[in-house]
Structure 1
Amino acid sequence: PLLPAAHGDTRGARGAAATRTPSAPPPAPRAAFVAIGDELLAGRTADTNLPWLARALQARGAELVRAEFVPDEIDAIADSLTRCRAAVGESGIVVTSGGIGPTHDDVTYEAVAQWAGVGLSLHEPTVDKMRAHYEPQGKELNAARLRMATLPDGARVLETPGTWVPIADVRGVWVLPGIPRLFTQMISANVERFQGDAVEVVTLYTATGEGDLADALRAVAEAHAAGVAIGSYPATKSGAQYTTKITVSSRDPEALAAATEAVRSAIDVSDAPLAS
C-alpha cells in the first residue's frame, strides 16, 4: 500500500531532528482520466491507456489523481467529468479516451457538450484534414465520418503531427480516441503542457514480510514531510528474490534522501533483489 507521509518534523536516520528549510517544490500539475466504452466494462477489451498515461505524466512531474471507467452513455460520461473536474481543480486537465468514432454508440462529444452546456458544430479545419486523409483512399466524407469532426462549441483544437484526429480541449477536458496507438501519439505530442518537477523514486528490497515491517514503515512515513510517499508491495511472482519491495518517492531531493535513509535505518533492506 502507498503511505503518504504525514505532516511533522523531519527526522534523520537515527531520530535526530534534521533542519531542512528550502522552499518546497510547487504543486504538481493534476490530471484525471476517464476511459469510455461498454467494451471495457464488459471485459472484451483491456485498457492500456491508463497505465501508459500515468507513467507519462509522472515522468513530466504531473500527478494523476483520479481515474474512472464509464459506459457509452451521455449522462454517465458527463457525471464522470464533473467528478474528475472537482478532483483536479480548475487548473487541472481531465483526459478522456474513447467514444469519438463514427457509429451510433460514439457519444463522447455529445456528453462533453452537455457537461459544458454548449452545442455541437462541424469544425471546418478538422473537416479539411479529414478530406485530405480520406479522399485519396476513395472514401467520401459521409454523415457518419463527419460525426468525428462535430465538436463541442468553443473547443480549442490541439493538433498532432501525422494524424488528422484532433484533441478537442473543452474547458480543460481533453477528448482523445481510445485506440492506444493514437492515444499515445497524441498525448506524446502535447505532453509538454503537463510540466512540473519530476518525481524521483528509490526502490528497496527486503526479505521481511509486510505484516512484520508495517509498524516501522508507518513510523517513518509519519516522521517525514507530506512531500514524500512511501509504498510497500509484496512479491507477486513465484521465485521472486525478495519478499517485499519498498518505494520512496518525492519531488524534493533532500526530503527523498532523508526518508530513504530513515527506511534503511528502520528496516533491513537492499538496493537490489536478494541473491538466490
Structure 2
Amino acid sequence: MSEAAIIVIGNEILSGRTLDRNSNFIAKRCFEIGIKVSTIIVIADIKKEIQKAVIKLAKLYDHVFITGGIGPTHDDVTTEAIASAFKRKLILNKKAKELLEKYYDKRNIELNESRMKMAYLPSNSKLIYNPISAAPGFKIKNVWVMAGVPSIMQEMFTSFIEPQIKKGKKIYTRNIDIFEPEGDIAKKLELLQKKFSKAELGSYPFIRGETVGTNIVIKSRQKVLVNKIYFKIKLMFQ
C-alpha cells in the first residue's frame, strides 16, 4: 500500500489568517484512490525548513504532496528550497515561459520580472499543468509541488497528478453511532481491533443536545470484513 505525506507551506496558514483546505482535499482524494496519508505538516515560508522537511519525507514515503509558495512574490520560496533539497539548479523552463507568455498576452498583462520568476524551475523537473492561471507546478522524483490557491491546487491534483499515480486497492468504510460514552466502550473496541487486525477501527465521541455517544468508523480493503464488523458492533451495543 502506497503511503504519502502532505506538506502545506505558508505563513498565512500558521498565523491563522488562512484556513488550510488543501491538506483536507488531498487526504480525501488519496483515500479514494487507495493511498494512505500518514503525515501532514504545515511549515513556514523558510527555505531551510522546507528543504529539511522535503529531504526527510521524500525518503520515508512513496509520495510527498506539497502546496504553496510557488508564486511571484519575495516570500514564495518553495521552488528554490526544493531545488536545493535535490541539488538541482533553477533554470528557465521554456515550456513554462511559453505558457505564461500565452496567458498574460491574452489578457494584455505585462509578463514582468516577478511573474517570470514562476517559469524558473528545478532542472529535470516535470511540469504539473495549471489550466486556471498558467503558472505550473512541478515534480521531482516522488515529490509533487502544487499551487497554494485551493481551486488551482485541486485542478492540478485531479487532472494531472491522479492520472499519473498508481492507484491502490479501494478502501471500504462504514460508520455506526453507539449511544454510550467513548470511555465506556473503549476496552471492547480494543479487543475487537485485536481480533480483526486487517481492519482499522476509529472512535469519535459526540454530544448532540443532551445525548452523549461515540461514532465508530470501520475501514478495510475487504468489504466483507467491514460489513462483518459493522453487524458485530451493532449486536454488541444493542
Does TM, scored on the shorter chain, surpass 0.5? yes
Tell me the TM-score normalized by structure 1.
0.81
Contact 1:31 1:65 in 2 (8 A): yes
Pick from 51, 54, 59 the counterpart of residue 24 of structure 2: 51
Q: Which has the higher contact order (CA 8 A, sep 6+)?
A: 1
Pick from 129, 134, 137 the counterpart of residue 104 of structure 2: 134
* Aligned residue number for residue 102 of structure 1: 72
Aligned length: 236
Deviations 1:210-233 (A, max 9, x none): 0110000000001112x3100010
Matched, 1:60 2:33: yes
Query: Which protein is richer in helix relative to its size?
Result: 2
Pick from 226, 231, 240 the counterpart of residue 202 of structure 2: 231
* Aligned residue number for residue 189 of structure 2: 217
Tell me the TM-score normalized by structure 2.
0.93
Matched, 1:75 2:45: no
Give the % identical residues.
27
* Aligned residue number for residue 59 of structure 2: 86
Q: CA deviation at 1:267?
A: 2.8
Query: Which protein is richer in strand relative to its size?
Result: 2
Paired with 1:206 and 1:110, the residues of 2 have a C-alpha distance of 50
Matched, 1:156 2:126: yes
Contact 1:98 1:179 in 2 (8 A): yes
- For 2:63, the aligned partner's letter is I
Gaps of 5+ in 2: none
* Aligned residue number for residue 95 of structure 2: 125
Q: CA deviation at 1:209?
A: 0.8
Contact 1:202 1:248 in 2 (8 A): yes
Matched, 1:33 2:6: yes
* Aligned residue number for residue 167 of structure 2: 195
Q: Give every structure 1 segment of 4 or more consecutive aligned residues whose post-TM-superposition deviation is greater than 4 Å.
A: 160-163
Paired with 1:229 and 1:214, the residues of 2 have a C-alpha distance of 14
* Aligned residue number for residue 183 of structure 1: 153
Contact 1:205 1:242 in 2 (8 A): no
Gaps of 5+ in 1: 1-26, 269-276
Q: Counterpart of 1:195 in 2: which secondary structure?
A: coil
Q: CA deviation at 1:136?
A: 2.2
